[in-house]
Structure 1
Amino acid sequence: MDLNALHASERLSDPGKLKYQDVRRFLEQLQWSLNHIAGAVRTYATLAKLAPEGEAADEVERMLRQEKKHFDLVHALYLELKGTEPVVTPEAPWFETFREGLQQAIRMEREAMHQYRDTYLLTPSPRVRDLFFLVMSDGVDQLAALFLMQQSLLLS
């Protein structure tokens, strides 16, 4: 997927004039997405510090880069629709070990996939749908990677 196509090249009009099923709910979920992704960035940054050297560390770094890209895309959409800088309040990581971090990240990704699916379904805009499909499908990939790392820890 071309990430440039998800940026503001196709301008969206006033969100109140878009044919959303529920504009207020969509904007609330957009704010939730910003908070969640910012929390995911914090989680993966902390997890990267705790990751064992090698493949696990590389994988967590990849997920961290993905989440930063997601934040940039959702942030740009928020600015475009609302016209103001969002107030972002990410959840802080609460784990102390790599294993606990994997468990927190798994719970976080599962919750996100449900929210992104619902947000995807709230809009007829192809550009917005593409953005939320991207973050949702990347979340599936991240979830699989987290499970594989968790399995690897159990086998070692």
Structure 2
Amino acid sequence: MLHQSPQAKGKAPIPFNPIGGTVMAAVFEASFASVAYTTATDGIELGAIPAECTVIGVEAISSSLGTISVDVGWIDGTYGDNDDSRNVGDEFIDGVAITSAPAKATTLACLAEGRSGNLRALGAVLSADVAAGAGKKLTVVVHYTT
């Protein structure tokens, strides 16, 4: 099952400022309050990075998810398309534990992705199953610039 944030569902905006050099931050949340996450089959579409923007920072934060690691990267397919066959990469964060502290991408990893003339979808996968429960969520904060 593909879990989608409010941004990925088109129900919340993604910050964008066309003035060059402006740093923006998008806060994406995937809630597991009422829906469980199954490692073997699930992915998470967090949101998208606007066209012509360069990611300069990514931080993944666990809230009550237990002992767990995360991958954060680009997700293939069409942004917002709830298709279970979409795959999530690990370009920014690759298997880093978020149990006791946030995971942060290196600036080098972020800059290596460059900018694109197209909107790019961002996703995550978790290393363990998460049972549904109050307060359980993954938060990913992304800083990017035009």
Identify which of structures 1 and 2 has the higher relative contact order when contacts are C-alpha pairs closer than 8 Å and 6+ apart.
2
| TM-score when normalising by structure 1 | 0.22
| TM-score when normalising by structure 2 | 0.23
Q: Report the structure, 1 or 2, having the larger strand content.
A: 2
Q: Report the structure, 1 or 2, having the larger helix content.
A: 1
Q: Which protein is bigger by CA-based radius of gyration?
A: 1
